[in-house]
Structure formats: C-alpha cells, structure tokens
Structure 1
Amino acid sequence: MRRRLAGISLLGVLALTSAACGSGGGGGGTPEAEGPVTITMWTRAATQAQSERLVEAYNSSHKNIQVKLTVIPTDNYQPRIAAAAGAKQLPDVFASDVIFVPNYTSQGLFADITDKIAKLPFKDGLAPSHMKLGTLDGHQYTIPHTLDLSVWFWNKDLYEKAGLDPEKGPKTLKEFAQQATTIQEKLGKDGKVHGTFFGGNCGGCYVFTFWPSVWAAGGQVMNPEGTTSLNDQPAMTDVFKIWRGLYENKVTGPTAKEEQGPTWTGFFPKGEIGVMPMPSTTLGLMPKDMKIGVTPIAGPDGGESTFVGGDSVGISSTSEHPDQAWDFLSWTVSDDAQIEVMAKNKDVLARTDLADNKYSAEDPRVVMINSLVAKGQTPYALRFGQTFNDPQGPWLRLAREAVFGDASKIPQLNAEITKSLQQ
C-alpha cells in the first residue's frame, strides 16, 4: 500500500470464457506422491523476500513437487497479470496485493478453493481481513500470503531527550500530535529532527496510515460494498484536522507535503523522526542499536486498529496442476512454515492462532503486531486502485485539500470518489 500503484482494472481488458473454476482439482491421492511436478508462481517485488523464503523452504523439504518462482516489478505486476489472463497463460499460483483480489476473483482468475480451505484444521485462524477479500458470493479463492500492518513507531532516545517518557507511546491520535509537537519544539531547532512525518502526496500512504484512526474511532471510510465514500464524515475529517494542525505548526518536516511514497519510510531509521506511522515489516530492518517503541494506531480519543495490507495468494483458474499447487499453498500457512519461516524472520503471521509463538515471544512488539491482524481492516472496493492509489485519482486530491489546502472542497471531492467507485 505504500507504493504508488496504477490500479489498472481488469474489467474490459480480459476476455475470459470461464468463470471461477470448480474447486481446482478435487483431490484423489496425495499430490506429493504423484510427482515429479514443477508448478509456477508469480509474485510482485514488494513481497519478494518472504516469497523466496517460503519457496526455498518448501522445495528443500519436498521431493516430487517443486515451485518455480518469478518475481515481477511491483509497478508492472497488474499489467502482466492482465496480459497473461487474456492469453490464458497465468502461472499455477499467483499472489496479489490483497486490495486487488476482489477484482481478480470477479474476473474468474482464481480457482475456487472453498472445499480445500474447509479441510484445514486451522481455517478459523487465517487472517480474517485477507479471507474476507478473497471471498466472492460465499466461495473462497485465496489465502493470506504475506501481511504488512500499519502501526506507530516512536524513537525512545528522542523521547528521552525531549523530556517525554520513552516507555510510553501515544494511546490516542491527540497524544500522538502532542508528543510529536514536543519533539519538534525541544529538538527541532537545528532542522535535523522533526516531530513526525507522512507521505503527503501519496494516496496509498494516506489510506495505510490515516484510515486506521477512523476505524479505531468506530467510523468507516466506505460502505461495505465499496461503492460509496464516507470520507466527508466527522470520523475522517477529525483525523485530517489533527494532521493539518501538525503540518501548519511545522511538526511534519519540510518535505512531507511533496512526499510521493518511495522514500516516506526512510527518515525514521535515520533517527530524525520522533513518532510516525510505519509499516510493521520495517521493524526487522531498523538499526540494531535503535530503541524503538511500537503501538497500535489509535483514533483521536483512543481505540486501536490497523490497515491489514500485504498479499493474498491463490491457484489460477487455468492451472493444470491444482492439487500440487494446493499442496504448496496449504503448506505455506502450516505451523511449520508460519513459525520456522515467517516468525523466525519477524514477519507478520498469516494466522491469528500463532500470534504468540516461540520466536515472537522474544519481542513483545512482534506479539503486539501479530495480535493486530485480528483487529485490523482491509477495505473492499472493486475500483480501489483507480480511486485511492492512482496519483491522478480523486482520493489524493481530497486528502491534499484536507491537509494542505481548502477543506471546504471535501464534500465535492468526496462525491467524486463515490462516482469513481461506482464506474
């Protein structure tokens, strides 16, 4: 979500003759015993590291089924999927930014794996927001692949230098603003340290970091069908007002207004930011000697939530090896893969029932992040990309007016978002 995505719709692009195929095979026999078979998998570069670890671990522990992984640049991924689907040349397995899964399922690109998922003993523990977006008309087509959550990071050393309690991060968005302001006032005179930062010219950054405050306050940004925007309601405008105040008081850093996304997470690891929303996956990439606190994103007066991003994965509807593909997919969400591959590398787990495991237990921050999977949300909209991620889309115009420009334009721009969602 933190990258600029084109959000290309498949509607009108694909000429598929089949709707979502049956259950993708149906079984009979043990796929591992029927090999040798090589199945193909595509993933976008944004999730390359996690995908490679899973594929490597599976290939080293399975004899008759092997997975050949192709990593495609993130910005090229949707066009490649569209072209391959139109030519009926999709790989056996492909992952997708979870936001775009409803678009793919509605076009019949994934095989129906409802019956297969039902047989998993831990099916109720699979990340609920990912499972929701992979479900269409009561049928399930994908499972979680990689997860990335939005959380608040704070720099404990900067807090201490500014006279704040380094062990107490913000519990409300108002506290977040107060603490960021204190950092700016106490430490920002030389221009090297800033209270907070955000991607002010990046639609995906806004939804990833601002919307959880709306959810934490009990509000919503869209109707359940993803066809009506609610971004002109108090739950959202109250969040905008707080961030606008931070910008107007020069607490956000001089480049926040023009930050388009690629570098918005790069300032915190340098020790230049007091407190800011960050992707949970960056925790393991922080300097080893940096003292970092992590806490859920809250609403203006409390609550907690997160944007559950990342990728889901499914079997293509044209796969000739659906049983072997399922053998791999089901293994990726097994105890062994989730703990020994994902948790071992501090990745967010695809299963809520494994949130507190032997690896995450070593770091309470990781346990907290894993626990948020069950509390967070992933918004549903078939036209999400065009509306919210596209730099030319209506959402970015609304967000920028709300934070930097003329807030009286919010109702008009919100109507444009609804129009885009309904096209």
Structure 2
Amino acid sequence: MRRRLAGIAILGLLALTSAACGGGGGAGSSAEPAAGPATITMWTRAATQAQSERLVKAYNSSHKNQVKLTVIPTDNYQPRIAAAAGAKQLPDVFAADVIFVPNYTAQGLFLDITDRIAALPFKDKLAPSHMKLGTMDGRRYTLPHTLDLSVWFWNKDLYQKAGLDPEKGPKTLKEFAQQATTIQDKLGKDGKVHGTFFGGNCGGCYVFTFWPSVWAAGGQVMNPEGTTSLNDRPPMTEVFTIWRELYDKKATGPTAKEEQGPTWTGFFPKGEIGVMPMPSTTLGLMPKDMKIGVTPIAGPDGGESTFVGGDSIGISSTTKNADAAWDFLSWTMSEDAQVEVMAKNKDVLARTDLAGNKYSAEDPRVVLINSLVAKGQTPFAPRFGQTFNDPQGPWLRLAREAMFGDASKLPQLNAEITKSLQQ
C-alpha cells in the first residue's frame, strides 16, 4: 500500500526510451495473430498480485488461449517497464498504477484499443476515473484492472465505549473531527487509543485521504490539464485547518507527524483508532470479530467522494498477439470475471452496473464501496509522481507546512507545485 501511494515515476528513463517505443498504434496494431491457441505474456506489480493471479487462473482454466503472468516487485516495476520499452521487449499485456498511465500512454507504450472498447456492450459502465486517465486525444488505451478506494472506517466498539452511536459514522469532515475528538477525550487518557490517525510525512497518503474531502465539497486540487495547483485555496485550506486542529488536540496519535507511509494503515486493525481514512481493500483484511463501520469521505459540510486508485491494464504497442491479448482483457471486464472472481473475493468492481451483485449484497459496506466508483476521482497530471508522490517534491512540503508549520507559506509553496507540474 505504501509503495502504491508513494512510488515515484521513473519518467526520465521513460523519456530516454520513448523514441524506441513508437506511437500509440504500435507494431501490434497490424501484426498477424498466431495460428491456433496463443499464449500471451502479462506483467503486474506485486501490489496487485492477488487479484491478477485470480483472474489469470480463472481465464486459463476456461480458455484455450493462455496467459503467462509475471509478478514484479513494486519497487522495480517502473524501471523494468522502461527498460523493456527501450528494448522493444514489453509483454503482450501489462498493468500499471492508474496515476502513471497518462505517462505510459504519452510514451507510446500502449496499443490504441478505442474501437475494441467501443464494441463492448457495457462500455459506459466501466470505472469512469480509470477510463479518463487511459484516454489521450480522444483515443482509449487501457481498461480498469484493480480498484482501491479511500473511505472512512470507524470502530463501533470504541464508539460505544465513548458514548457515541456505534451505528452512525460521520457525514461531514466536521463531524469526523468531533467524533475523533470525543474518542480521544473519553478513551485516550492511557495513550493506547487515539481519535484518528494519518500519514503526516507521506505525500501519497495526503493525496489519498485529504483530496476526497475537497472533491466532496465541490472543489478541485488542480486544473483539468494537471498543470496548475489549487491547493492554497478553499476548500483545501479548510480541510487542512480541520485536520491541523485534530493534531493540535493530540487526537491523531503521537507518530502521525513522522509517519512516512509504511505503517499508516496498521493501527486501525489493532483496535487503537476511533475513526480514520483507510483503503477500501483493507476491509477484507480486518480481524473477523472487529465491528467496523464504513462511510464515504465527506467535505467539511457534507458531500461524498473518494480517491479511485489501483491499476489499469493495456495491450503493449509492440505485441504480436493483439487479438489474443484483447480476448483476455475484455474477459476480465465480463460479468463472469467481475462477479465470480473479483466480487467473490470482496474486491472493488471495475463496472458500475455490477455494484449490487450477489456477493457484495451480503455486506452493505461492500455495496457502498462499489457505489463510490462512479462518484470518485483519479486526478490527472502528466508530472504527478514527481510533484505529489516524491518525498522530496513540493506537495509534501506544502502539506507539512499546512499541518505542522506556517500556513502563510501556502501561496509560495503552491506556486512551486505549479512550477513542478509545468516542467
């Protein structure tokens, strides 16, 4: 999870290899498919290993074509993609963190699959945020692969002990702060329980958990082109103010300021946190006897949104097996794959029309999470990684000043973010 949020794009290396990668159509658009059943190659990063393995296993057991999956350590994934692109040795199919898909698309690494997507009967039901980032100049290059959403979890047992209604989570960020403060005041005297928690030294953590409150309030963090930062104005500044007050009240735990990402999701499962933003994928990993409420992230005064993270997947521009690759990719979007493979394992679905399937219907929390796919956002910026994920980047400096330092520096630091986005 930490690397998914905090990974840094190796764009310099991609830039060096882009000339060798060709354009969006690529060699695969005209290559002849192999006669008879084909075996295609697929790469994914370790962060999505479980979902990828389940999909490949199900496909291989029911199709003559076969998929040979290679899982690459997340830390090494982007350099491996860059090196393979330069050598024209990309796999037939590869997944990528959705945030970095625009960069790969611009480098010509993905095959144009616009017409193939247009022929899908459920084309308008695919996760809109993932589809947006896989589109360039009106052409489509990727499909959703895995989705991870940011939501608020609350501990019902701690709520009850603190005198709060265990069945009513926060509906606004202000209510979130009130409930976290109550938990801290009533149960936090021994230092073992805390009202909330956040990754105070992790740029990706701020993005994943704070930005949905901005969107829920009707605001934006950037212009649509991803070249101008809006993080020095409301509602972003109001979100920072509410969280800073929680920190000043010592309701966020003693290590929030130093948290760089590795353990930011590890405290809630221990029963130590009252309410906090969490990745939706962690719901299935929680202790079985833990009573957890789930609710959308809200703005200061209401609304709801989510950061739609995860991975997208596309056909490489150099494939010689485009038809076989598409057969696999389109199958992963089918009802059979989405329901019997993904939903059965409590994964978030890539299709909005299947949110209320027979498996998710067993748990209203899963239905709620699936319903947020259509409401959430995945921000677009060509230089997202260097600007927002890089621990040396300008976003983390702005966030830390807003949370722990001199908020009057925000306009200056925001200008640095914009400068980074426009490089």
| TM-score strictly above 0.5 | yes
Q: What is the distance in 1 between the residues matched to 2:319 and 2:30?
A: 13
Q: Does 1:415 align with 2:415?
A: yes
Q: What is the distance in 2 between the residues matched to 1:147 and 1:378?
A: 11
1:13 shift after superposition: 4.3
AA of the residue aligned to 1:271: G
Aligned to 1:16, which of 20, 43, 46?
A: 20
Q: Does 1:326 align with 2:330?
A: no
1:36 shift after superposition: 2.5
Q: What is the distance in 2 between the residues matched to 1:124 and 1:17?
A: 30
Match of 2:124 in 1: 124
Q: Which aligned pairs between 1:250-329 and structure 2 lie closer than 5 A?
A: 250-329=250-329
Q: Which aligned pairs between 1:7-406 and structure 2 lie closer than 5 A?
A: 7-9=9-11, 10-16=14-20, 18-21=22-25, 24-25=28-29, 34-63=35-64, 65-406=65-406
Contact kept? 2:202, 2:391, Cα under 8 Å = yes
Contact kept? 1:177, 1:242, Cα under 8 Å = yes
Q: What is the distance in 2 between the residues matched to 1:89 and 1:249?
A: 54
Q: What is the distance in 2 between the residues matched to 1:164 and 1:306?
A: 25
Q: Secondary structure at the match of 1:62?
A: coil
**CA separation of 1:380 and 1:221: change in aligned 2, threshold 3 A:** same
Q: Secondary structure at the match of 1:210?
A: helix
Gaps of 5+ in 1: none
Relative to the length of structure 1, the TM-score reads 0.97
**CA separation of 1:26 and 1:119: change in aligned 2, threshold 3 A:** farther
Aligned length: 419
Moved more, 173-182 or 6-15: 6-15
AA of the residue aligned to 1:52: E
Q: Secondary structure at the match of 2:95?
A: strand
Gaps of 5+ in 2: none
AA of the residue aligned to 1:353: D
Contact kept? 2:200, 2:400, Cα under 8 Å = yes
Q: What is the distance in 1 between the residues matched to 2:159 and 2:206?
A: 25
1:16 shift after superposition: 2.2
1:206 shift after superposition: 0.3
1:14 shift after superposition: 2.9
Q: Secondary structure at the match of 2:197?
A: coil
1:6 shift after superposition: 1.7
Residue identity over aligned pairs, in percent, reads: 86
Q: What is the distance in 2 between the residues matched to 1:35 and 1:209?
A: 48
**CA separation of 1:345 and 1:27: change in aligned 2, threshold 3 A:** farther
Contact kept? 1:24, 1:323, Cα under 8 Å = no
**CA separation of 1:288 and 1:402: change in aligned 2, threshold 3 A:** same
**CA separation of 1:17 and 1:328: change in aligned 2, threshold 3 A:** closer
Q: Secondary structure at the match of 1:263?
A: coil
For the aligned residue pairs, the C-alpha RMSD in angstroms reads 1.4
Q: Which consecutive segments of 4 or more residues in structure 1 shift more than 6 A?
A: none
Q: Secondary structure at the match of 1:71?
A: strand
Q: What is the distance in 1 between the residues matched to 2:29 and 2:321?
A: 8
Contact kept? 1:25, 1:323, Cα under 8 Å = no
Q: What is the distance in 1 between the residues matched to 2:30 and 2:334?
A: 20
Q: What is the distance in 2 between the residues matched to 1:27 and 1:40?
A: 16
1:51 shift after superposition: 0.5
Q: Can you list the C-alpha shifts for 1:311-358, whole angstroms capped at 9, x where unaligned?
A: 000000001101000000000010000000000000000000000000
**CA separation of 1:191 and 1:308: change in aligned 2, threshold 3 A:** same
Q: Can you list the C-alpha shifts for 1:243-273, whole angstroms capped at 9, x where unaligned?
A: 1000011000001111111110000000000
1:73 shift after superposition: 1.1
Q: What is the distance in 2 between the residues matched to 1:342 and 1:47?
A: 12
